[in-house]
Chain A
Amino acid sequence: DIVMTQSPDSLAVSLGERATINCKSSQSVLFSSNNKDYLAWYQQKPGQPPKLLIYWTSIRASGVPDRFSGSGSGTDFTLTISSLQAEDVAVYYCLQYYSAPNTFGQGTKLEIK
């Protein structure tokens, strides 16, 4: 199974500042036939299901603000929030959907400093 490891486990950032969350996979999640990394990012607020933010490493899902961006390749990936807003307080998860079982990172809790 592919193990996904996020860092840090928690993060406190001031409003308007940049937040960066990292995700590392134990194996490549690159699908060679289309050269896409099968890596997604989710936001989960208390009492709610996860919400898809980013798929294929860097493509924002419909309706996701452009302050959210994804980058990386191979085994190292990053979610960046360029200017933190109060509504971005949540737990963020990466997911590899390259192979079964799909696996999530352990989550990163993002708070306001």
Chain B
Amino acid sequence: DVQLVESGGGLVQPGGSLRLSCVASGFTFATYTMNWVRQAPGKGLEWISYISGSRDPDTVYYVDSVKGRFTISRDNAKNSLYLQMNSLRAEDTAVYYCARRSKIPGLVDYGIDVWGQGTTVTVSS
């Protein structure tokens, strides 16, 4: 089964740091572009970052609200995706989802097709 499992969430004070992890299984992780999407309590979905897979040019991208504070990375040998979050603010409080972008170049692009269950980050003093 294709699966994404996030971990690393928790309670952190404003200005603090946290590192989220996502372990993938059931597919060839290295070839897929991976994303982080968050959802603040009672709010909608916000896409925040992606990192390209091995079939695409090396690219990372961040939404403006996290640029310069968050860093996305991956370790293909460990089938793992990471999000290093620094200088955390109250408005970063959310459930953070790891999500797979699925496409076959020249054939099909499903968009984001697989999601983890999410890990909760709470920024509060």
A and B: real partners? Answer: yes
Most buried by A among B35, B50, B109: B109
User: Does residue A50 face the partner (Cβ distance < 8 Å to B)?
Assistant: yes
For residue B36, give the distance in angstroms from its CB to the closest CB of chain A. 11
For residue B107, give the distance in angstroms from its CB to the closest CB of chain A. 9
For residue B98, give the distance in angstroms from its CB to the closest CB of chain A. 10
CB of B109 within 8 A of CB of A49, answer: no
CB of B50 within 8 A of CB of A100, answer: yes
Cα distance, A95 to B47, chains bound together (Å): 10
Contact of A97 among B48, B109, B116, B118 (CB under 8 A): B109
User: Does residue A14 face the partner (Cβ distance < 8 Å to B)?
Assistant: no
Interface of chain B, helix or strand or loop or mixed?
strand
B: number of interface residues (CB 8 Å): 21
CB of B111 within 8 A of CB of A40, answer: yes
Known: A49-B117, A50-B115. A104 touches B110 (CB 8 A): no
Contact of B118 among A49, A52, A55 (CB under 8 A): A49
Interface size class of A (residues with CB under 8 A): 20 to 34
Known: A38-B109, A52-B113, A55-B113. A101 touches B118 (CB 8 A): no
User: Does residue A107 face the partner (Cβ distance < 8 Å to B)?
Assistant: yes
CB of A102 within 8 A of CB of B47, answer: yes
CB of B44 within 8 A of CB of A95, answer: no
Cα distance, A62 to B44, chains bound together (Å): 24
Contact of A52 among B35, B111, B117 (CB under 8 A): B111
User: Does residue A12 face the partner (Cβ distance < 8 Å to B)?
Assistant: no
Residues of B within 8 A of A (CB): 35, 44-48, 50, 61, 63, 97, 101, 108-113, 115-118
5 CB-based A-B contacts, threshold 8 Å:
A38-B111, A48-B117, A49-B116, A52-B113, A97-B109
Residues of A within 8 A of B (CB): 36, 38, 40, 42, 44, 48-52, 55-56, 61, 91, 93, 95, 97, 100-107
